[in-house]
Amino acid sequence: MYGYNHRKVKETAEKILGRRLDAVPVGNHQLERHLVYRLEDKEGTSFIFKLYFRKNRWNREVASLKLLSGSNVKSPGLIDYGVLKDGTEWLITEFVEGEPFFRVQDVIGREGRLSIYEDMGREIGKIHSFREFDFFGNWDEEGNSIQAQTDYPYVFIRRAEITISNLLEQHLPEHALHRKAAEVLRGKYDLIRDVTTARLCHNDYDERNVLVREASGRWEVTAVLDFEQSLPWDKDRDIADLYHALTVRGDEYRDAFLKGYECYSSLEEGFYRKLDFYLIYSGINICSWAYEPAPDYYRQGLKLLEEFV
């Protein structure tokens, strides 16, 4: 990706850390967003090394991990970060033991899944309750607002209209459904007019982005990963997708998640009013980029639109 093969990644990491390293790819590199490697030195200490190739991903992750270093959120510790001479952004975090939940969720049993979903609720509740912000939207690596916007509807609608344009310009086979979804979404913009509180949101929170393990007979979350989408936003948007997915999977899973979440935060009535609106937006957003690089995910986006439009 952009001239970075395995050898160049390894040499780059060795130069940054000043030691010889083994490097193993661990990311979803086929999406061409970033490269992620597990590094290990001769003492057996492991790190995660990430190179970014999409704008406004590195700064979000750096800002979020720096902020959360002062919290009890199970996020990886930020070790170092910077920009290479060719402009490539990078960071190094601690390596956390565990398996991505999505890889084991169907083999660990009902009680294990319930335990993890409760932990997932607890961790995102910690994130949402950690701090309020006086702006919405993108921020730099130091945690300063880039857009300097306090008007959430303006920022959200601007982003939604860009996403709609990106989708409709492709004229994909389901174009008629996409166009109808855009009309429905636009007709519901008033639902977010009252959002005034900005909180740190993960914005990609699901079974792919948590690590889990079994310890003392109980399955638990060991880390929340991938904060590259994270910024001050509406917390209801942050959990709408997972809430819906867990409702489909079974009310007991949703309820376990809410039990953990309500240890630190809460769902207010406005969440339920906005839920369908945010799920339509999720479908539009997924379909706007996933048709070729992630066809299975694209079909998930279509399913949301078919259900809620």
- Quote the pLDDT of residue 147: 83
**Domain positions in the chain:** 6-94, 99-308
pTM for the model: 0.94
Interval 25-35: pLDDT, tens: 997 766 667 89
What average pLDDT does the structure give for the chain? Answer: 95
Q: What is the pLDDT of residue 28?
A: 75
Query: What are the pLDDT digits (tens) for 64-103?
Result: 999 999 899 999 999 999 999 999 999 999 999 999 999 9
- Closest by Cα among 97, 109, 114 to 213: 97
For 196-219, how does the pLDDT look when each residue is reduced to its tens digit (9 = 90+)? 999 999 999 999 999 999 998 899
pLDDT at 95: 97
- Whether residue 12 has pLDDT greater than 80: yes
Give Cβ neighbours of residue 245 (< 8 Å, ≥ 6 apart).
206
Residue of 81, 71, 94, 88 lying closest to 2 (CA atoms): 88
For the domain covering 99-308, report its CATH number.
3.90.1200.10
Dihedral sign (CA 266, 235, 67, 205): positive
Give residue 5's pLDDT. Answer: 87
* Residue 6 banded pLDDT, cuts 50, 70, 90: confident
Amino acid at 270: G
pLDDT at 45: 95
In CATH, the number for domain 6-94 is: 3.30.200.20
User: For residue range 220-272, what is the model confidence (pLDDT) as tens digits?
Assistant: 999 999 999 999 999 999 999 999 999 999 999 999 999 999 999 999 999 99
